[in-house]
Every structure is written in C-alpha cells, then in structure tokens.
Amino acid sequence: MFNAGGEVIYVGKARDLKKRVSSYFQKTTLAPRTGLMVSQIAQIETTVTRTEGEALLLENNLIKALAPRYNVLFRDDKSYPYIMLSGHNFPRLGYFRGTPDKKNRYFGPFPNAGAVRESMQLLQKVFRLRTCEDSVFNNRTRPCLLYQIKRCTAPCVGLIGGEGYHQDVMEAELFLEGKEQQVLERLEAAMQAAAEAQRYEVAAVLRDQVMALRTIQEKQFVSGESGLDADVVACAATEGVVCVNLVMIRGGRHLGDKSFFPKNADECDAVTALDAFLAQHYIGRSVPPLIIVSEKLDDAMLAALLTEQAKRKVQISATPIGERRVWLRMALENARIAITQRLSQQSTQEARLQALIQALDIPEGTKRIECFDISHTMGEATVASCVVYDNYAMQNGEYRRYNISGITPGDDYAAMRDALTRRYRKIAAGEGCMPDLILIDGGKGQLGVAEEVMAEVGLSDVRLIGVAKGAERKVGLEQLIFPDGEKALQLPADHIGLHLIQQIRDEAHRFAITGHRARRGKARLHSSLEDIGGVGAKRRQKLLARFGGLKGVQAASVDELAQVEGISQMLAEKIYQGLH
C-alpha cells in the first residue's frame, strides 16, 4: 500500500488477497490506527507467489527493506554473538560475531556480548584454554598473567602438551553442548585416580575444576532439561508499550534473555507483535528445534519454512507443560518488568524535554534534537560527530561520523562547516529527517558557522543553540548561546532541562572522541611503519604476516622483530624505535 507521495506505508500477505484488501474498505469499525492508514492509501500493488512460504519470505524481506509506517518493526540488525573454538593445533577460545569460518567451531548463539564473556570467563576458570591472538601466542617467551592466575595452561611456551590441551578442549566442547555430566564424571574419576596414586597436587587441581563446574551447573542449568536447545518468546503489552522477551536455552543452559521493543506498535495486540517478531527474527537466522511462545498463533506455515531453512524439524509450541511452562512465565515477567522500566525512563525523558521546551521557549512538539562535536589532537585526525535524540531516547542507529580533511589543522570552524554542510545539504534535498533543534558544542564562533551553513542550504527555520563550556569547564556551568545576539542563558545546575542537554552533548563528545582515537591510531601506526627507512613493501608484508597485523608488530620486542626473514638486528632496533 502506497501513500500519495509514493511511499510504501504497509506490506501484508493473505491466502485470499481480494478478501483481505476488501476488508480494509468495507468495515466501518476499523481501529483508529488502521483507519488512519486507510485514509492515506493512494495505490495498492500485489504480487502473487507460488506458496504461502514464499509469501511469508517476500513479506519479511519487504518489511525489513522498506520499514513501512504501519507494519510492526523489530530493529535488530546485528548478528548474535557466539563462543568460538578455533581450528588451530592449540585451539583458541574467543568471542565471535559475523560470518562463520568452517575451520572453527561455534557455540551459541548468545543473547548479548555480556553473556558470551561471562561464559568465557567460566570456561577459562574450569578448562584454562588460551584466549590470546596468534600474534601474541606465536611470540611468547614466558607465560603471561593468565597462567599466573590459573586461567590458562600456557601452551604458548610448552607448559602443557598437545594431548593434555586437546583433552581440555574436548571437555569444553562437551560442556558447551550441554553434556556437562560426562565432563563431571571424567573429572571425578581422574581426581580419584590421582589421589590413589598420591599425586595430590594434580588431584587438588581436578577438585577445584569439579567444584567450579558444579557451581556453574547450579547457576545456569535448567533442571531436567540437559542438552535441550530452545527459545522462549513471550509478549506483553501495557499502556501502549509492547515488549517481546526472548530467553535462550542452549545445551540445557539458560544463557540469558533480551527484550525487544517494536516500532509502529500503537494499538498492536500481543498476537500481532509476536507473529511479526517470529518472522522478522528467525527467517535467515539460526533457529533452535523448539520455540515456546506465549500466544496461540497460526504458525504452521512459519514452522514449515523454518524447518526447511534449518534442515531439521522446528516446533513452535504455545502449550508448554511442566518446567517449560515455568520458563514461559519467567519470560512474560521479564517482558512486564522491561515495560515498567521503559515507561519509567520515558516519563523521566518526557519531563526533561518539557522542561527544556519551557526554559528555552521553543515550540511545543519539539522531539528530534541533533548535536555536533569536533574532536582532534592538535589538528591531527579530525573527526566530527552527529548524534540524534528522538522519541525520548538516543537513536544510536542514526549517529554519523565525518572524517574531516582539506582544512587547516586545528581549524574547528572549518571542521564544523564541513560536517554541517555534508549533513544538511542531504536533508534539504529530502534525504533524511528534519531536526526540530540543533545543538552545537561550542561558543559564538561555532554557532555563527552553523547559522551560515543553514542559510546556505535553505534550512534557516531550524532552531540553533550553542552549548559553551562554563568557567573552568565545570559541569553545570554551561552557557546556552543563541543566534542573532540574544542574551546567553545559564540554567541552574539542577535544572532537568539542562540535564537533557548535558546527556546529548556528552554523547556527541563520546562518539566524536572514539572515532578520532581510532582514526589517529590507525594513521599513526600505518604511517610510522611506512616511514621507517629500509622497510620496503616486501619487508612490511613479512612483518605483518608474522605478527598478525600492525598492532602485533608494535607489540613485538627487538629480538622478535629480528627473527623475521630479511630483518637484521640493527634494522629491528630501528623499527622498534620508530614505532615507540
């Protein structure tokens, strides 16, 4: 369905298209949101598919690509993280997100990065596998701190043989697959044998492993369901806020949960939201054999599609029994708690924004605020940031960084002009959302540049405010600078409207400085290696290959550099000095 401007406002599917489309125009009791959508329809296009499964796929792809205003949208473009065991002779335990490599083994997915890191810490404590990069592992001459604190067995310097290390790897794999009981039985048997052979130090190490593993079991394993892979998906709706909570269980272990808040979910019921989530979340992604849901759905088509995708049977169950029903209640409670927290945060943000509107006498309805900051080190690697505040929250997905070049180093005015011009020339041309208010981190000079740019691109009506740091750069003493010579304003330090400005300004500063540091570090290291006399393209290539990249070269000692073919001791010293 298209509006008069040619914008897609809704995508849907049906077995009987005529009946489905007609229903929008024949009913007189449409919900307000649906009625508003129908009033905007100017054109309808249809596509016929061979099967219902194809229709579901097409609908999902169009919704993700076009983000229609009246479809329920779940934004989660990032892939989920996994635990990885590499394919090396001494496998590395690592955090992984991205496209899998067949040489490695992957366990998961996990709901968030924190769950992966917590599990990795537990695995290190019990099985003591290496986590270091190859550039470090291949060039160690003595054990690192992880060996000293009993989190690694130091295979890098041969303190454990290949057979012993691979035994630890095998047990870690069994643990990650949910076969923890097998691991416990083997460790207990080995501990008993060591004790009988009076190898008490070995027995003590095995005892500590058994105790750590039992502690993990108590915290993470779901009783009676060892080895099970399942997702529990529950939806709750309160006061107009809809939340879907996803609980992940892999190998019988509760890996954690994640809450999702869909867009365009006004007047949306739990069934509609849950149906949209399952399609958008699982199509094209890893899917467990069992999905437990909180609402009865017409899910036969989706289950068949996911079964075909996973190349094994996938079951969607809305009627769990026993302990699985307890998991579902837990997920529902998580969703309700998440909604309560969201409403509390939104209420605070609404109060802050309203206080700012009143203090600055800006138009009611102001919601979208954009803020700019510049970061550099004495003019080096200048980066400008633009952060966006909208719908009472920071919109991370809409942040932008601008690498600034072609200006006099350290000229903040020129950097601000460049960033603002690149940003608002596009918006003036109809690409992107128009802000209600623009904050400029700086004083009269930066604000004057912003006024000039907005006039040049034809957006003079947008309100501009400069945020100048107070005396001694103390928080709470900021001055708000206005265009056209208006008197500057200093709000009280405890003013909640000022707190909103500080929140947005600090986020712009953080985003700018992280981008600047990354750009500066990359430029410095790369140029330093190229600028060292006697290090041509071939030697650079050998150095990078040996140490796994620029950071590895920088971390290497003089003796380690001298071991590279074509690098003499004198040249190694020269390289070391050039990089430090």
Position 168 in a domain: yes
User: Under 8 Å CB-to-CB from 362, ≥6 apart: which residues?
Assistant: 356, 436, 437, 463
414 — pLDDT class (breaks 50, 70, 90): very high
Does one domain contain both 197 and 314? no
Asked if pLDDT for residue 220 goes beyond 50, the answer is no
In this structure, what CATH number is given to the domain that contains residue 275?
Answer: 3.30.420.340
Same domain, 451 and 548: no
Q: Is residue 353 domain-resident?
A: no
From residue 406, give the alpha-carbon distance in Å to each of 197, 375, 400, 410, 445. Answer: 74, 16, 19, 11, 20
Confidence check: pLDDT of 46 > 80:
yes
Pairwise pLDDT comparison (531 vs 151), residue with the higher score: 151
Closest CA to 419 of 481, 511, 484, 501: 511
Same domain, 92 and 210: yes
527 located within any domain: no
Is the domain of 177 the same as that of 300? no
CATH code of the domain in which 546 resides: 1.10.150.20
Domain presence at residue 450: yes
Between 86-90, 505-509, 524-528, 540-544, the lowest mean confidence (pLDDT) is in: 524-528
Same domain? For 276 and 386 the reply is no
Q: Kindly state whether residues 395 and 509 are assigned to the same domain.
A: yes
| Band of pLDDT at residue 487, cut at 50, 70 and 90 | confident
Q: Is the pLDDT of residue 167 over 80?
A: yes
d(Cα 212, Cα 217) in Å, to the nearest integer?
A: 9
Model confidence band, residue 50 (pLDDT cutoffs 50, 70, 90): confident
pLDDT (0 to 100) of residue 557? 83
Each residue of 508-527: pLDDT tens digit?
Answer: 999 999 999 888 777 665 55
| Confidence bin at 473 (pLDDT 50/70/90) | low
Same domain, 266 and 332: yes
Q: Tens of pLDDT along 332-357? A: 998 999 898 888 888 889 999 999 99
φ and ψ at residue 193, rounded to 5 degrees: -65, -40
Q: Is residue 278 part of a domain?
A: yes
Per DSSP, which regions of 187-317 are E strands? Answer: 230-238, 241-250, 253-260, 290-293, 315-317
Tell me how far apart the alpha carbons of residues 551 and 543 are, in angstroms, rounded to a whole number.
Answer: 11
Q: Is residue 2 part of a domain?
A: no
| Count of structural domains within the chain | 5
Answer whether residue 221 shows pLDDT above 60: no
Position 246 confidence tier, pLDDT thresholds 50, 70, 90: very high
- The pLDDT of 527-540, averaged and rounded, is 74
Q: Please indicate, yes or no, whether residues 438 and 405 belong to a single structural domain of this protein.
A: yes
pLDDT of residue 502: 92
Per-residue confidence band for 449, with pLDDT thresholds at 50, 70 and 90: very high
Whose tokens are 């691979």? That residue is 166
Cis peptide before 109 (omega within 30 of 0): yes
Domain that holds residue 459: 369-519
Domain boundary among 189, 220, 251: 220
Within this chain, do residues 503 and 417 fall inside the same structural domain, yes or no?
yes
Mean pLDDT, the chain, rounded, equals 85
Q: How large is the average pLDDT for residues 240-256?
A: 83
Rounded to whole angstroms, how far apart are CA atoms 399 and 403? 14
Q: Which two tokens stand for residue 579?
A: 């990089």
Q: What is the mean pLDDT of residues 117-139?
A: 83
Q: Do 403 and 264 belong together in one domain?
A: no
- Give the integer Cα–Cα distance in Å for 424 and 405: 18
* CB-CB contact of 379 with 407 (8 Å): no
Res 202: pLDDT: 73
Helices (H) and strands (E) in the chain, counts: 19, 15
347 is a domain residue: no
CA–CA distance, 176 with 340 (Å, rounded to integer): 34
Query: Quick one: 514 and 572 in the same domain?
Result: no
| CA-wise closest residue to 357 among 342, 367, 347, 348 | 367
The answer to whether residue 77 sits within a structural domain is: no
Task: With 0.85 as the threshold, say if the pTM is over it.
Answer: no
* % of the chain exceeding 70 in pLDDT: 93
Dist. CA 129–CA 122, nearest whole Å: 11
The answer to whether residue 224 scores a pLDDT higher than 60 is no
Q: Residue 125: pLDDT above 90? A: no
Same domain, 559 and 459: no
